[in-house]
Amino acid sequence: MSETVLQTAIEAATACADIARRTVLPHFRTSLRADAKSDDSPVTIADRQAEQAMRSILEERLPEHAILGEENGISGASSDWLWVLDPIDGTRAFLTGRPTFGTLIALFHKGRPVLGLIDQPVTGERWLGVTGRATTFLSDRLPGTIGTRPCPEAAEAELSCTAPEIMTAEHAPRFAHLQKHTRRTSWGGDCYAYGLLALGQIDVIAECTMKPWDWGALVPVVEGAGGRITDWQGNPLTLESDGTVLACGDATLLPELVRHLS
How does residue 37 score in pLDDT terms, banded at 50, 70 and 90?
Answer: low
C-alpha 203: how far from chain center: 16
At 174 the pLDDT is: 98
pTM (predicted TM-score): 0.95
At 77 the pLDDT is: 74
DSSP 92-128: HHHHTT-TT-EEEEEEEETTEEEEEEEEETTTTEEEE
The residue-averaged pLDDT of 187-204 equals 98
The SS3 of residue 167 is coil
Same fold, 3-139 and 154-261: no
With beta carbons less than 8 A apart as the criterion, state whether 200 and 248 touch. Answer: no
At 257 the pLDDT is: 99
Q: What is the pLDDT of residues 165-174, one digit of tens each?
A: 999 999 999 9
Domain ranges of the chain: 3-139, 154-261
Residue range 3-139 in CATH 3.40.50.10800: no
How does residue 39 score in pLDDT terms, banded at 50, 70 and 90?
Answer: low
Q: How far apart are CA 108 and CA 66, in angstroms?
A: 10
Q: What is the pLDDT of residues 68-119, one digit of tens each?
A: 998 878 888 778 999 999 999 999 999 999 999 999 999 999 999 999 999 9
Name the class of domain 154-261: alpha beta
- 250 labelled ligand-binding: no
How does residue 36 score in pLDDT terms, banded at 50, 70 and 90?
Answer: low
- 88 labelled ligand-binding: yes
Q: What is the pLDDT of residues 214-228, one digit of tens each?
A: 999 999 999 999 999
Name the more confident of 142 and 1: 142
- 89 labelled ligand-binding: yes
Q: What is the CA radius of gyration of the chain?
A: 17
Strand 184-187 and strand 204-207: the pairing is: unpaired
At 16 the pLDDT is: 99
- 119 labelled ligand-binding: no
- 86 labelled ligand-binding: yes
The residue-averaged pLDDT of 143-166 equals 97
Q: How far apart are CA 176 and CA 191, in angstroms?
A: 21
